[in-house]
Amino acid sequence: MSRRSERRPGTESPSVAAGGRPHVVAVVVPEPADAVALVDLEPAGAEIAVVALRAGTQEGRGALDRALAAAADRGCGVLGAPRVLNGRDSADTVAALLDELRDLGPDRLHTLDPDPVHISFDRASGMPEYDVPPVHAETAAQALDAARAWQAESGRPLSVDCHRAGSDPGLGAASCRRYPAPATWLSAGFDGRLTAFLPTAAGLVRRYQDASGRWSGPEPVEGAGLLPGLFVARDPQGFPHVFGLRRTARGDGGVDVEVVHTAQYRTDGPLTPWHSLGGPNTSDWRKGRSVGFPAAAFDAAGGLHVFVRNFGHSISRRGQAADGSWPAWEHLRGTRVGDDLVAVTAPHGGVEVYARKRDAPGAVRWFPGGPGGAWTEDAALPFAPRPGTLAPAPEAGAVLFRDLRTNEACLWRPGMQAPCPLGEARGSGPLGALRGVEHRGWTYSVLTAVAQDGTHLVGAYPEGRPDAGVWWQDLGAPSREAPAAAVSRTGQLTVASRVSGRHLLLARRDERVDGFSLGDWQRART
C-alpha cells in the first residue's frame, strides 16, 4: 500500500529557486552520429549544444538532426547546429574544446567512456578487444581534460556523464553512466552541520555549513585525475568516507586507473589525503583501466571492505585489517557481473555484496558464510534490477532497486520470498535511503527518489516495515540531480537538491505539521 501527498500550490520549485537560468548541456563526441543516444537521454528543459570533433557522414548528421528535432518536441532547446572542430592533434582538440566550453558555459557535459569495458581478450597478443573504436575513448579523455580546465578557470562546478558503451538508452540515464550518480552525497556531522559531496569534472567538490548555518562556496578537494563519480559511506562512528576512481597518464602512453579513498573527520576541516587502494588488475594497465566503480561498507567492528568489478567481470574485494594494513585484493570467483555493485552491513555485523548479473537478468549476493568465513555466492535471488539502480536500503543487509521489467521501486533482504514493492516511486535512477528518523516516539526509514516526471519524491515508513506502506511526498518541479537526505543529531530531517552551477537547495521537515511533510525549497545561505 502506498500513500502520496501532492505538492502544495505555490511552493517554490528548484528551477525557480535557481533563478530560472537555462540548464545548458554540452554533448562532446567524435562524430554527429555518436551524439544521438546522448541527446535521446536528455529530459525536457535542457538547452543542448553538440560539439563534434569531425563532420562525420551525411547519414550520421541526418540521424542527429532527427534526434535534436525529437528533443525540441519534448521540450528541450537546441543551441544551433552541431559545432564541428576538425582538430589536428590532441593538444589542439583540448584547446578547441575549452574554447567551446567558454562560449557555452555548460552546467553538464555528456561524453563517452574514456575506459570502456572489453568484450573479449586476445591471449596471443595480450590485448583486450572492444566493440567501440579507439576514438571514442580518446574523445572522452580529451573532453574530460577540457572540462577540468574550464571548471578550474570559471570556478563553476560542472557535472559530467560518461556514456557506458553497450548500454541501453531505453532504460534511462542511470543505466548508461560509467560513473554512477550518488544518492548518498549529503552527510550530517556530529555537530549537526551538513556537508554536501558533489562529483564534478574536476573531481570531488564539497560544501558545508558553518556554525551559523551558512554554507561554504563550492570547495574543490585536491586530487588530480579524479573521475566524475563518487560513493559516500559512513563508518560506525558516523564519519563520511568518500570513494572514487583516479585516472593518471603513464610515461609509455597508457593510463593507470586506481581506487581512491578519503575521509572527513570534522565538518569544516580538511579531508584526509587521498589514499590509493590500487586495483585488482594493476599489473597490466590495459586490464586495470577497465575497473568498475567501487562500492564499500563498514562491518560492525569498524572494518572497511571495498569491492569492484574486475577485468574478468567478477568481483574483487580488499579489506582493511585490524592493524590498519591493507592485504592484497581477493578475487571472489563466480557469476559474471555488470558494473552495478552495492555493499551492505548485514544484521550479523559482517559485510555482504550484491551485484547485477552481466549475461542474464538477475542479481547475485556474496556473503562470508563458508568454512572459516570463506565467501559464498547466492546466484538465485528472486529479482532482476534495472542497471544503475542497486543501492543500500535503510534496513541492515537489504537492498533497493528498480525492477528491470516494470521499473517499480522495490526492497529485498535475505529471507524474503519476493521483493517488497515501494509504491508510487516509479521514475529513474537509484533510491537514497536513511534510517533512524524519530517522530512522536517512533522510528522511521526515509527514502528519496526521482519520479517519472523528474520531480523529487521523499517517502517514509516505520523502520523495518516497508510492507506497511510508504507515505510519499512530491517536493516539486524537476531537477537535474537525484535528491539526498540527512538527519542531524537533534533529529532535523533535511532533503537537498543540487541545481545548475553553484546552487544547492534545501527542504526541511515542517515540525508544525504532523507526519513527514517537508517545507518549501530554500536556496542554501552562503
292/448 Cα distance (integer angstroms): 25
Q: Which residues contact 57 (CB under 8 A, 6 or more apart)?
A: 31, 33
CB 203 within 8 A of CB 221: yes
3-class secondary structure, 267: coil
Give, rounded to a whole angstrom, the gap between the first and last alpha carbons of the chain. Answer: 41
Count of all residues that appear for the chain in the document:
526
Nearest to 435 by CA among 402, 403, 401, 400: 400
Q: What is the pLDDT of residue 266?
A: 92
DSSP single-letter state for residue 475: -
pTM above 0.85? yes
Nearest to 495 by CA among 462, 465, 524: 524
515/415 Cα distance (integer angstroms): 30
Radius of gyration of the chain (CA): 22
**pLDDT exceeds cutoff 60 at 115:** yes
Percentage with pLDDT > 90 across the chain: 69
Q: pLDDT tens-digit profile of 49-103? A: 999 999 999 999 999 999 999 999 999 999 999 999 986 666 799 999 999 999 9
Q: What is the pLDDT of residue 88?
A: 60
Nearest to 475 by CA among 524, 422, 519: 519
CB 394 within 8 A of CB 412: no
Sheet holding 275-278: strands in order across? 231-234, 240-249, 255-263, 275-278
Percentage with pLDDT > 70 across the chain: 93
- Residues 198-210: what's their mean pLDDT? 92
Q: Cβ-count burial of 300 within 10 angstroms (0-12 exposed, 13-18 middle, 19+ buried)?
A: middle
7/458 Cα distance (integer angstroms): 11
Give residue 106's pLDDT band: very low, low, confident or very high (50, 70, 90).
very high
- Residues 415-429: what's their mean pLDDT? 89
∠ at Cα 514 (497, 438), nearest 5°? 70
34/356 Cα distance (integer angstroms): 27
Q: Where are the beta strands (DSSP E) in 6-76?
A: 23-29, 46-52
Q: pLDDT tens-digit profile of 323-372? A: 889 999 999 988 999 999 999 999 999 999 999 999 999 999 999 987 77
Nearest to 106 by CA among 202, 24, 228: 24
500/24 Cα distance (integer angstroms): 9
CB 407 within 8 A of CB 423: no
Q: Cβ-count burial of 408 within 10 angstroms (0-12 exposed, 13-18 middle, 19+ buried)?
A: middle
The β-bridge relationship of strands 83-84 and 46-52 is parallel
- CATH class as words, domain 22-173: alpha beta
Q: What is the pLDDT of residue 189?
A: 87
Query: Widest CA span of the chain, in angstroms?
Result: 70
Q: What is the pLDDT of residue 271?
A: 95
Q: pLDDT tens-digit profile of 230-282? A: 999 999 999 999 999 999 999 998 999 999 999 999 999 999 999 999 999 99
Query: Of 193-207, 240-254, 312-326, 467-481, which range is least confident?
Result: 467-481
Domain borders along the chain are: 22-173
Match 534510517 to its residue by C-alpha cell: 435
Q: What is the pLDDT of residue 27?
A: 98
**pLDDT exceeds cutoff 80 at 152:** yes
Give residue 385's pLDDT band: very low, low, confident or very high (50, 70, 90).
very high
